[in-house]
Amino acid sequence: MSESLLSSRNLAFELYEVLDAEALTQRERFAEHNRETFDAAIGTARSIAENLFAPHNRKNDEHEPQYVDGAAVLIPEVEPALRAFHEAGFLNATRDFEHGGMQLPNLLSQACFAHFQSANIATSSYSMLTMGVANLIEAFGNDEQKRKYLQPIIDGRFFGTMALTEPHAGSSLSDIRTKAEPHADGSYRIKGNKIFISGGDQPISENIVHMVLAKLPDAPPGVKGISLFIVPKFLVNDDGSLGKRNDALLAGLFHKMGWRGTTSTALNFGDNDDCVGYLVGKPHHGLAYMFQMMNEARIGVGMGAIMLGYAGYLYSLDYARNRPQGRQPDGKDPTSPQVAIIEHTDVRRMLLTQKAYVEGAFDLGLYAARLFDDTQTLATAEERQSALELLDLLTPIVKSWPSEFCLKANELAIQILGGHGYTREYPVEQYYRDNRLNPIHEGTHGIQSLDLLGRKVSMNGGAALKQLLKLIHGTCQRASEYESLSALRQPLEQLLARLQAVTLALLGDLMAGKVNQGLANSALYLKVFGHTVIGWRWLEQAIRAEEGLARAVAADMDFYRGKLQAARYFLTWEVPSCHHDLAILEARDDTCLSMQGDWF
Amino acid sequence: MSESLLSSRNLAFELYEVLDAEALTQRERFAEHNRETFDAAIGTARSIAENLFAPHNRKNDEHEPQYVDGAAVLIPEVEPALRAFHEAGFLNATRDFEHGGMQLPNLLSQACFAHFQSANIATSSYSMLTMGVANLIEAFGNDEQKRKYLQPIIDGRFFGTMALTEPHAGSSLSDIRTKAEPHADGSYRIKGNKIFISGGDQPISENIVHMVLAKLPDAPPGVKGISLFIVPKFLVNDDGSLGKRNDALLAGLFHKMGWRGTTSTALNFGDNDDCVGYLVGKPHHGLAYMFQMMNEARIGVGMGAIMLGYAGYLYSLDYARNRPQGRQPDGKDPTSPQVAIIEHTDVRRMLLTQKAYVEGAFDLGLYAARLFDDTQTLATAEERQSALELLDLLTPIVKSWPSEFCLKANELAIQILGGHGYTREYPVEQYYRDNRLNPIHEGTHGIQSLDLLGRKVSMNGGAALKQLLKLIHGTCQRASEYESLSALRQPLEQLLARLQAVTLALLGDLMAGKVNQGLANSALYLKVFGHTVIGWRWLEQAIRAEEGLARAVAADMDFYRGKLQAARYFLTWEVPSCHHDLAILEARDDTCLSMQGDWF
């Protein structure tokens, strides 16, 4: 088959036609870069992903990590893959040159990382978590913490984890019970149990830096009493050498439906009253710090969901082109040769749906990555703040929309392969199992919907929402210059107008104290908001495709026509379906709110 | 937890309040039965399912069948479960008393079998296939075939399979290549390869009766040249003893994502030119015969999908009632105790959606089962024919709707359990994996949509469709007597009117020869038709619930209120969503039809 990880033509379209990555090189931070350095990084990522990540993706699944004598044992292929990833510079892709990084834009770093996620989501997860921990310590750690924990991470010697969830609390972080007692030497003694800690143990890195949420003795109740601690697997001496094993022990592994290559661990801190931790930043500010990593992770989860969808789409597309079966409804002569199944309209529907979901979400994911660059490198503080607000608003969409719809794409990929798709002899069933995690971790779907409606749309007087609406209107405006796009623009405009009105109405409920009513159908709000955003991104892509068509050579014509057809699919088949959801939201329908537990 | 397989209160509601099972005992064939005998059969089924099927459901998954020395090896728990199933009479539940059966209505047989499907879909599949083969031989086999193959099946000694699919043909049966050469003794020599044959080998039964589709040397091309053969694993001597091993060999096992306990086999017939087969019925009529078994199997698949959905729903309901986490949006005091997650509106939404899907489909499945009884036991040939037509029309819905929406229910069950739901320590992820097979086997989703729109709605001048519309109108009429149901009735009536119109329009396309256009969006048609049918069944349940409420004692009030709320959910949240699909159908939207393979 041609390409298995992602379409490099589509990636080039995103980077250089839609998101104008080259414009970033005008900014001082990226002045050393140009399209050649970008493409070189991407080429290296593709090569390592294809050669060292993809080959053990199935083996990760078939030979999941084992718990042996208090430690997790992994298949041997994971370590060299992660080493090559580090040695090629991808762990530090965005870090300063002077700190050993490539000083790439986040947009490019995400584009590179997408290859690894597509090739092997489980192995790539160790790196994603480690990058998040590095950024967290860099932002909030003190100099000693940076020297003892950040530098070894940059050097590829330590990995990291985020340790939030506890058995009795789950998503309700305000109820965590892990305690941190001050110790005479300025460190803390940690005591508590965490579950579902990804990468919580592995035999690859010399040390593991757990970023642990815990409560100090004087902590106020709830989320305002959470502090953040560094809890290393092995203590680190002042000279940087490893000291004794910390009392942070692997209690066991969870056995997952998919994503099996990433250890999901239960960790016991302080079972022997000797778990040393180090406070990061100020007491009781831990959740705010952790949200930096969580926001990064949420975008990472969204990108992971997209790339699992992408891998399944490309596989099923290749299969559909090469698998002969049946005939057209109007050509039933049984002596005629069978046609490739891509000729069947319903198979095309399933491919087009996948393309619309996957490439729509991929565009949004990269858009968010570029927005992150804006938060760091735009000229004025005001511009950077504005970018940050927009990114905050979009984060629940970037996380949740692909988790739902790229999973649906994987479901369709299986369907195209039929009975074969249901067997483990083909890769699509694993993508489906792997992807099912994404609506759960890093804030469930339900939590994303509450974050969006209960917090993000109204923050700072709705500034981010206004900014987004302006951007969407701008795209609609530009689309109106193309007669060919009017049928795509109108459904988006109709949806947008109604979404604005319902947003105001629901925020009115919340301000009037009708909180349960206002948030009751937040899941529908999340879907409509997500479809609006993806519809916007498709209209943007359609404009670029029209521009491309005007100058394209023959081979590229097909690419742009496919883009326009996928935009048409999303904007006319998917977007208008939201009016039904909007009607329910407008009516403050209380079917779910008024249902009683005893009635089930 | 309370009940794990299905709600016995809901089953009683279906049998005795909605479908009036007791009225069947007025028919001569069922005159020996009454509610007590029905309930006794159900109680036995529940007991065996709970005690012998459910306990090894996970083990079936963890220890899938192995290919050892040309044979399939299963875990030891399967055999005693199936033996108990047979000894309790469930294999022959509907068969005549004089042939060793219980002469139960099909409705009751399905209600009993539902327990086994819920408890262990993989183990129950061996029986489902065997029952289908028995019915097929009974209907079309000659006396010798009945003596040599049917009687040992009834006696529980032989199992059966249906062997249709071939590697290069898949769903396109007209392209099968398996050959049958006449032999001097009146038997045939079979040569060909079949794949995905469920139960194609197992170490449980003394013999396996494969029902094989193959082509005679003089066969006309396509489906009109397909004949049906009995191909036993071991030849059967005239005295009923087993003869030599037939040249029908296990080539290998497929390794599936779920449903692992049922062997999925590749079978080679005649590798050594010595595979003996026996023609069933007339030459070239094989597909018509096989359709009896396929129709049975399609309803069986639908019921299986429902019961997997049901098992997941009940598990997640129990979990939601017992898992404390978080607080209401309007009660965020972190020092207050956490509430059970069933108190969260979004969790209720996910439970209510599951209930609406699972219990709506369950009602339809049992309705179809009762319709099958009508095809056998109504007084006049005309009435029986009429029932048969309605059943034919509904079969693609019974097969496909639960395959799609009860899979969605399983997805929601996982979501309610959060991280736990994604682990193999809890059962819901297996239900999800198991259920993903159902949109594929026994005719894919796409094939069901073509069967419905391209064949069933127009057959016999649309007689079955008219019958269905009349029934739905009748239900709406009765619902109009309840003021409380008007908000539920109206969405169904609106959908129905538009579905009728679009049906006529699409059939007009087909009659005008615009076949590709008319069938292009058949997937949407299938969804709308299915939602109409399930909406009808929910309105019917709502009427019965109103009747029940009028006479209910306190404990039962909750049950009926839950029914009304689920009906409200389905008719106001789900049914109106179809108007968007109808608009696409009405417009003959050609987004998928005009998409070109090269554009992807």
Closest CA to B540 of B20, B182, B78: B20
Contacts of A418 in chain B (CB under 8 A): 170-171, 440, 444
**Residue B588: in which H helix or E strand, if any?**
none
Handedness of CA B551, B556, B562, B567 (dihedral sign): negative
The per-residue pLDDT of chain A, averaged, comes to 97
Option in B175, B516, B573 nearest A330 (CB): B516
A217 touches B: beta carbon within 8 Å: no
Cα torsion through A319, A324, A330, A331, rounded to 10: 160
Residue among B255, B327, B444 minimizing CB distance to A425 = B255
Q: Nearest CA to B168 among B198, B197, B194, B190? A: B194
Tokens of A96: 């300063």
Of A171, A195, A520, the CB nearest to B326: A171
Summarize pLDDT for A397-431 with one digit per residue, the tens: 999 999 999 999 999 999 999 999 999 999 999 99
pLDDT by residue (tens digit) across A137-146? 999 999 999 9
Supply the DSSP string of A292-339, one letter for each residue.
Answer: HHHHHHHHHHHHHHHHHHHHHHHHHHHHHHH-B----TT---TTSPPP
- Architecture in CATH of A8-66+74-139: Orthogonal Bundle (1.10)
Optimal mutation site among A121, A322, A595, interface B, most CBs of chain B within 10 A = A595
Q: B516–A329: do the CB atoms touch at under 8 Å? A: yes
B252 to chain A, any CB pair closer than 8 A? The answer is: no
Residue of A173, A524, A591 best to disrupt the B interface, most CBs of B under 10 A = A591
- Structure tokens that stand for B456 in this block: 């069933």
Do A415 and B439 make contact, defined as CB atoms within 8 angstroms? Answer: yes
Q: Are strands B207-214 and B158-163 parallel, antiparallel or unpaired?
A: parallel
Nearest to B533 by CA among B379, B344, B402, B372: B402
The length of chain B in residues reads: 600
Structure ipTM over 0.90, yes or no = yes
In the DSSP assignment, the letter for residue B205 is: S
Interface of B with A in 316-335 (CB under 8 A): 317, 321, 324-330, 332, 334-335
Task: List, for residues A362-395, the tens digit of each pLDDT value.
Answer: 999 999 999 999 999 999 999 999 999 999 999 9
Contact between A330 and B579 using a beta-carbon 8 Å cutoff: no
Please give the helix or strand (H or E) that residue A264 lies within, else none.
Answer: strand A264-269
The pLDDT value recorded for residue A110 is 98
Distance CA B374, CA B24 (A): 9
pLDDT band with cut points at 50, 70 and 90 for residue B509 = very high
- Cα–Cα distance measured from residue A455 to residue A458, given in angstroms and rounded to the nearest whole number: 6
- What mean pLDDT is predicted for residues A472-501? 97
A580 with B583: Cβ contact below 8 A: no
Question: CB A561 to CB B347 under 8 A?
Answer: no
The reply to whether residue B599 touches residue A565, judged by beta carbons under 8 angstroms, is yes
At position B579, the amino acid (one-letter code) is H
Measured distance CA(B492)–CA(B471) in Å, rounded: 13
- φ, ψ of residue A139 to 5 degrees: the values are -80, -40
- DSSP letters for A480-506: TT-GGGHHHHHHHHHHHHHHHHHHHHH
CATH match of B157-285 with 2.40.110.20: yes
Q: Which pLDDT value is given to residue B219? A: 96
**Closest residue of chain A to B446, computed from CA coordinates:** A346
Q: What distance lies between CA B542 and its chain's CA centroid? A: 24
Do residues A213 and A192 make contact, with C-beta atoms less than 8 angstroms apart?
no
Nearest to A233 by CA among A205, A255, A194, A196: A205
Among A550-564, B167-181, B356-370, the range with the most confident prediction by mean pLDDT is B356-370
With a cut of 90, say whether residue A557 has pLDDT above it. Answer: yes
Residue A522 · residue A449 · CB < 8 Å: yes
A278, β-bridge pairs: A230
Q: How far is CA A234 from CA A69, A159, A231, A470, B471, in A?
A: 17, 12, 9, 51, 72
Give the orientation angle of helix A522-551 with respect to helix B345-377, to 10 degrees.
Answer: 90
Q: Residue B178 and residue B271: Cα distance in Å, rounded?
A: 12
Partners of A262 on chain B (C-beta within 8 Å) are none
How confident is the model over A154-199, as pLDDT tens digits? 999 999 999 999 999 888 999 999 999 999 999 999 999 999 999 9
DSSP B282: S
Find the CB nearest A584 among B348, B414, B573. Answer: B573
- In this predicted structure, the answer to whether residue A1 has a pLDDT above a threshold of 50 is no
Q: Could you give the angle at which helices A428-435 and A286-322 cross, rounded to 10 degrees? A: 160
Look at residue B1 and tell me whether its pLDDT is greater than 50: no
How far apart are the C-alpha atoms of A138 and B266, rounded to whole Å? 57
What token pair was written down for A238?
């002042």
Tell me which H or E stretch contains B82.
helix B78-87
Flag if B432 and A257 touch (Cβ within 8 Å). Answer: yes
Helix then strand then coil, in percent of chain B rounded to 5, is: 60, 10, 25
Give the percent of chain B with pLDDT over 90. 96
Mark which residues 99-118 of B lie under 8 Å from A by CB.
none
**Residue type, position B300, single letter:** G
Contact A254 B415 (CB under 8 A): no
Contact B591 A583 (CB under 8 A): no
Question: To 10 degrees, the CA torsion angle through B247, B249, B251, B255?
Answer: 160
| Cβ separation B515–A329 shorter than 8 A | yes
Structure tokens at B483: 């003021």
For residue B363, the model assigns a pLDDT of 98
Q: Which CATH number fits domain A156-284: 3.30.1490.20, 3.40.980.10, 2.40.110.20, 1.10.10.60?
A: 2.40.110.20
Q: How confident is the model at residue A2 (pLDDT cuts 50, 70, 90)?
A: low
Whole-number Å distance between alpha carbons of A150 and A173: 26
Catalytic residue ranges of A: 442
Phi, psi of A212 (to 5 degrees): -110, 130
User: Given this model, what pLDDT does residue A332 score?
Assistant: 76
Least confident interval from A550-554, B406-410, B432-436 = A550-554
Please name the member of B195, B332, B558 whose beta carbon is closest to the beta carbon of A599. B558
Chain B contacts of A348, Cβ < 8 Å?
592-593, 595, 597
pLDDT at residue B79 tops 60? yes
Q: Name the DSSP letter for residue B157.
A: S
A522:B346 CB<8 A: yes
A211 token code pair: 């970023």
pLDDT in tens, B105-153: 999 999 999 999 999 999 999 999 999 999 999 999 999 999 999 999 9
Q: Measured between beta carbons, which residues in chain A are less than 8 angstroms from residue B599? A: 558-559, 561-562, 565
- Hey, what amino acid is at B578? C
| Assigned fold of B8-144 | Butyryl-Coa Dehydrogenase, subunit A; domain 1 (1.10.540)
CB contacts of A328 in chain B (<8 Å) are 516
More confident residue, B319 or A99: B319
Q: What 3-state class would DSSP assign to B6?
A: coil
A172 with B326: Cβ contact below 8 A: yes
B392: Cβ contacts below 8 Å, ≥ 6 apart: B295, B456, B459, B464
Q: Chain-centre distance of CA A107, in angstroms?
A: 13
Q: Where are the beta strands (DSSP E) in B281-354?
A: none
Are both A8-66+74-139 and A156-284 of the same fold? no
Mean pLDDT over the full length of chain B: 97
3-class DSSP state of A266: strand
Inter-chain residue contact B325 with A172, CB threshold 8 Å: yes
The pLDDT-based confidence of B329 (bands split at 50, 70, 90) is confident
Phi, psi (deg, nearest 5) at residue A264: -115, 115
The pairing of beta strand A158-163 with beta strand A207-214: parallel
How confident is residue A331, by pLDDT bands cut at 50, 70 and 90?
confident
Q: How many CB atoms lie within 10 A of CB A25?
A: 16
In angstroms, the first-to-last Cα distance of chain B is: 50
Q: What does the DSSP assignment read for A411-425?
A: HHHHHHHGGGGGBTT
Size of interface A-B (CB pairs under 8 A): 268
Query: Which residue of chain A has the CA closest to B10?
Result: A600
One-letter amino acid identity for B426? Y
- B440 contacts in chain A (CB < 8 Å): 414-415, 418-419, 421-422
* Distance (Å) from the alpha carbon of B332 to chain A's nearest alpha carbon: 9
In this model, does residue B2 exceed pLDDT 80? no
> Which residues of chain A lie closer than 8 angstroms to B515, CB-CB?
329-330
* For testing contact with chain B, the best of A346, A437, A507 (most B CBs within 10 A): A346
Pinpoint the alpha helices (H) of B323-420.
345-377, 381-417
Looking at the DSSP assignment, which residues form a beta bridge with residue A193? A268
Q: Which residues of B are catalytic?
A: 442
Inter-CA distances, A331 with A69, A326, A339, B169, Å: 64, 10, 10, 17
Helix (H, G, I), strand (E, B) or coil at A543: helix
B582 touches chain A (CB under 8 A): no
- Domain definitions of chain B by residue range: 8-144, 157-285, 445-590
Residue A142 has a CB neighbour count (10 Å cut-off) of 12
Q: A133: buried, middle or exposed (CB in 10 Å: 19+, 13-18, 0-12)? A: buried
Three-state DSSP state, A65: coil
Q: Residue A330's pLDDT is what? A: 82
